């Protein structure tokens, strides 16, 4: 299988790119340091007990006093103090990811993400200029908080961009909210992290943070009517699409179905099949031929009955769909 050549962002929560992820990474390193110390001391004392020789018989009272010192010190004070410190430092960090009102009274950008077996539907709610729907890619403004409203279309999924912050489950029939922020423009990996069936492994999300101005451009380009390639050249492909694809896929201005991923701007995306293929020339045609080998068990039917020419035509037409 091909690499994720188009997706340069990695998935390490120890390479944070946002305030929430950074705080959590710090908490991790702090806990690791302190707990390593606790571990070394406890195991060291245990080993030392075998090395030393009890010097003399101790009286009953002495034993009781000594053991009480051990048990109260190690069993009550040590965990008690540790827990207190952890809660004092840890609880405020969690607050960052809650969708509380912003201090200045501004409304943060809202992006809706809906999990499906095994792809992501991403919606930018109507801001007066029309709703934007895309799939398997998430473009967000950098340097400002973004609220994600997540849910699921079938089973439970979970929404996670490790370098930006924590995860939240995507549930059918409910909307969960989480606030994340990217410090700088960049590309990050996202991944479904609640087991959701056969292709759970290949449910990746391409996340790109842009400077706010670029983001606005990106969004308004998709709000404008799309050029769906009216020319002669793609006439056959458009007909084939209407016949074989339009019952599941939406292309703005061509079809309205929402069973499978929206394809309105597929030509401009970085990956195909939720992170299975990098988008290159001919990638869509390759996907159309081999998608059950590339992502076994995915819910798109095999199109063996279509000849190679039609599939290629479809592929090259879809590649032109870019605002």
Partner 1 sequence: MSDTQASGHHARDKAARLHRELEVVWRNPRGLRALTVVNHSTLGLRFMATGLVFFLVGGVLAMLIRTQLALPSQAFMTPEIYHQVTTMHGTVMMFLFAIPVLEGLAIYLIPKMLGTRDLLCPRLTAFGYWCYLFGGIILLSSMALEMAPDSGWFMYTPLSSGEYSPGKGSDFWLLGITFVEISALSAGVELTVSILRTRADGMALHRMPLFAWYILVMALMIVVGFPPLIFGSVLLELERAVGMPFFIVEQGGDPILWQHLFWLFGHPEVYIIFLPAAGIVSTLLPVFARRPIVGYGWAVAAVIITGFISFGLWVHHMFTVGIPHLAQAFFSAASMLVAVPTAIQVFVWLATLWLGRPRMSLPMLWILGFLVIFVCGGLTGVMLALVPFNWQVHDTHFVVAHMHYVLVGGMFFPLMAGFVYWLPLVSGRMPSERLGRWAFWLTFLGFNLTFLIMHWTGLLGMPRRVYTYDSAMGWDIYNLISSVGGFMMSAGIAMVLLDLALHWRFGRPAPPNPWEADTLEWGLSMPPAPYNFASLPTIKSRHPLWDNPALGDEMARGEHALADASHGRREILGGEVLTGRVRERIHLPTNSWWPLFAALVLAVVCISLLVRLYPLALGAFLVAVAMLLRWSWENGGHPAAAPLGDDEATSPPLHSRTRGGPARFTMCVSLMADGAFFLSLLFGWFYLWSVSPQWRLPAESPLDPILLIGAGIAFALGVLWLERRLRRLYAGDETRLSPAFYMIAALGGLHVLLLVALLWQADLAPTDNAHDAILLVSLAYLLGHGLLASLLMAMQGRRAALGYVSARLPMEPGVVALFWRYQLGIYAILAVSLGVLPRVIGGGA
Contact 153, 167 (CB under 8 A): no
Using the minimum distance from each CB to partner 1, give the nearer residue, 198 or 256. Answer: 198
Using the minimum distance from each CB to partner 1, give the nearer residue, 95 or 242. Answer: 95
Other C-beta atoms lying within 10 Å of the C-beta of residue 304: 8
Based on the shown chain and the rule CB under 8 A, indicate whether residue 294 belongs to the binding site for partner 1: no
Based on the shown chain and the rule CB under 8 A, indicate whether residue 44 belongs to the binding site for partner 1: no
**Tokens (6 digits) for 242:** 């209407």
Based on the shown chain and the rule CB under 8 A, indicate whether residue 232 belongs to the binding site for partner 1: no
Residues in the chain: 323
Q: Which of residues 110-139 bind partner 1 (CB under 8 A)?
A: 117
Residue 80 Rama label (left phi>0; alpha psi -120 to 50; beta): alpha
Distances from the Cα of 59 to the Cα of 49, 63, 64, 67, 214, angstroms: 19, 6, 9, 12, 79
Q: Which of residues 163-192 bind partner 1 (CB under 8 A)?
A: 165-169, 171-174, 176-177, 189, 191-192
Q: Which of residues 134-163 bind partner 1 (CB under 8 A)?
A: 154-156, 158, 160, 162
User: Among positive and negative, which fits the CA dihedral 196, 244, 274, 222?
Assistant: negative
Helical H segments across the chain, by residue range: 19-51, 60-70, 78-95, 212-223, 235-244, 283-294, 308-319
Using the minimum distance from each CB to partner 1, give the nearer residue, 125 or 197. Answer: 197
Based on the shown chain and the rule CB under 8 A, indicate whether residue 256 belongs to the binding site for partner 1: no
CA distance 205 to 161: 8
Among 21, 146, 207, 289, binds partner 1 (CB under 8 A): 21
Q: Which of residues 195-214 bind partner 1 (CB under 8 A)?
A: 195-201
**Tokens (6 digits) for 162:** 């490790």
Based on the shown chain and the rule CB under 8 A, indicate whether residue 231 belongs to the binding site for partner 1: no
- For the bound state, the minimum distance from the C-beta of residue 287 to partner 1, rounded and expressed in Å, comes to 16
Using the minimum distance from each CB to partner 1, give the nearer residue, 58 or 247. Answer: 58
Q: Which of residues 53-72 bind partner 1 (CB under 8 A)?
A: 53-54, 58, 63-64, 66-68, 70-71
CA distance 313 to 279: 16
Based on the shown chain and the rule CB under 8 A, indicate whether residue 88 belongs to the binding site for partner 1: no
Based on the shown chain and the rule CB under 8 A, indicate whether residue 80 belongs to the binding site for partner 1: yes
Using the minimum distance from each CB to partner 1, give the nearer residue, 151 or 255. Answer: 151
Strand pairing class (132-135; 109-116)? unpaired
Based on the shown chain and the rule CB under 8 A, indicate whether residue 24 belongs to the binding site for partner 1: yes
Based on the shown chain and the rule CB under 8 A, indicate whether residue 79 belongs to the binding site for partner 1: yes
CA distance 323 to 265: 6
Using the minimum distance from each CB to partner 1, give the nearer residue, 43 or 224. Answer: 43
């Amino acid at each position: 299988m091909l690499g994720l050549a188009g997706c340069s962002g990695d998935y390490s929560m120890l390479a944070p790119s946002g305030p929430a992820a950074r705080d959590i990474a710090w908490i991790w390193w702090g806990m690791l340091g302190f707990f390593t110390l606790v571990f070394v001391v406890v195991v060291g004392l245990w080993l030392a007990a075998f090395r030393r020789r009890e010097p003399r018989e101790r009286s009953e009272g002495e034993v009781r006093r000594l053991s009480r010192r051990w048990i109260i010190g190690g069993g009550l004070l040590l965990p008690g103090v540790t827990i207190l410190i952890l809660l004092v430092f840890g609880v405020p960090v969690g607050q960052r990811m809650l969708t509380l009102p912003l201090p200045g009274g501004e409304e943060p950008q809202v992006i809706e993400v809906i999990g499906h077996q095994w792809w992501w539907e991403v919606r930018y709610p109507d801001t007066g200029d029309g709703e934007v729907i895309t799939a398997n890619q998430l473009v967000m403004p950098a340097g400002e908080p973004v609220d994600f409203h997540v849910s699921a279309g079938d089973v439970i999924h979970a929404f996670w961009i490790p370098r930006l912050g924590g995860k939240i489950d995507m549930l059918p029939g409910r909307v969960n909210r989480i606030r994340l922020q990217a410090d700088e423009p960049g590309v990050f990996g996202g991944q479904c992290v609640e087991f959701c069936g056969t292709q759970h492994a290949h449910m990746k999300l391409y996340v790109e943070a842009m400077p706010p101005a670029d983001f606005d451009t990106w969004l308004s380009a998709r709000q404008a009517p799309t050029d769906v390639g009216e020319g002669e050249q793609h006439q056959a492909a458009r007909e084939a699409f209407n016949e074989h694809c339009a019952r599941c896929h939406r292309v703005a201005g061509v079809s309205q179905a929402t069973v499978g991923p929206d394809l309105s701007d597929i030509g401009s995306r970085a990956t195909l099949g939720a992170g299975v293929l990098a988008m290159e020339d001919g990638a869509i045609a390759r996907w159309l031929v081999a998608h059950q080998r590339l992502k076994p068990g995915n819910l798109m039917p095999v199109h063996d009955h279509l000849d190679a020419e039609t599939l290629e035509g479809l592929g090259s037409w879809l590649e032109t769909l870019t605002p």
